[in-house]
Amino acid sequence: MVTEEMVKLIGIWSSPFVVRAMMALNLKGIEYEFLPEDLPNKSELLVRSNPVYKRVPVLIHGDKPVCESLVILQYIDEVWASSGPSILPADPYGRALARFWAAYVDDKLSSPVRVLLWSNDEESKAAAKEQMFAALLQLEDALAKCSNGKSFFGGDIMGLVDITLGSCLRWLEAIGTIEGINVLDKTKTPRLVEWAELFCSGDPAKELLPEAEKLVEYYRKDFVVRRVAAASDPPK
């Protein structure tokens, strides 16, 4: 059977996009082999498996690669539909809403997070902070509507939006430390704060989310490397 073929996941420990795939596999109870990737020196397997973007995560099921984290989550849910809880709702409208808000996280939250982490331009970073906080307010409202008064975006259990946003939580904490700001504020986003505490306290988040302190350390080391590289190779 196709579901019994070997499963591998190419990724790096610090990537929230990789953590998403790991969470989905764990929720479904799927055994897999994790293949750590060295992104500055991309492996032949990564390049061959994802020749378009050459980035992680890549799920390899048997000999078939599946790329892009949101696509991977939906693939896992469909292939292992009878294993573990469903990641997407059963009804078409619920599935459409979940897909919309998961895409919203990547479009409106992940983008300003990347700017805050890697940009040297203070004006761009200020704009990114505004975008990040605006996105969190939208997600606060979405949580109230999607959860129907229950604990998660998916209702009683973690679903697509929970995994997508939850995988970013430690990086949001790290940004708070790096920038000296309170990213999730009880006065502005009380539902998200309560949701985040619940999400991080349960499985598989406890096992798979990296510690914010380690992400800050990783960021600072990488930032120094980037600055040294830029100084030694000035623009022409």
Q: pLDDT tens across 65-98, in order?
A: 999 999 999 999 999 999 999 999 999 999 999 9
CATH fold group of domain 2-79 = Glutaredoxin (3.40.30)
Q: Which ranges of the chain have pLDDT less than 50?
A: 1, 228-236
State how far the alpha carbon of 216 is from the alpha carbons of 101, 160, 219, 224, in Å.
Answer: 27, 26, 5, 12
3-class state of residue 55 by DSSP: coil
- Bridge-partner residues for 60, per DSSP? 8, 65
How far apart are the C-alpha atoms of 160 and 145, rounded to whole Å?
15
Run of H or E residues at 33: strand 33-36
- What are the start and end residues of each CATH 1.20.1050.10 domain in the chain? 92-216
Distance CA 222, CA 217 (A): 9
pLDDT given for residue 222 in this prediction: 78
Range list for CATH 3.40.30.10 in the chain: 2-79
pLDDT value, residue 234: 41
Of 90, 103, 75, 71, which Cα lies nearest the Cα of 157?
Answer: 90
Per-residue model confidence (pLDDT) at position 225: 63
Listed in sequence order, the residues at least 6 apart from 160 whose beta carbon sits closer than 8 Å to its beta carbon are 70, 73, 74, 77, 87, 88, 98, 99, 102, 153, 154
- pLDDT at residue 224, as a whole number: 62
Please report, as a single letter, which amino acid is at residue 195.
Answer: W
What is the pLDDT at residue 233? 46
Question: Tell me: domain 92-216, CATH 1.20.1050.10, correct?
Answer: yes
Contact call for residues 35 and 11 (beta carbons, < 8 A): yes
Please tell me the predicted confidence (pLDDT) of residue 2: 59
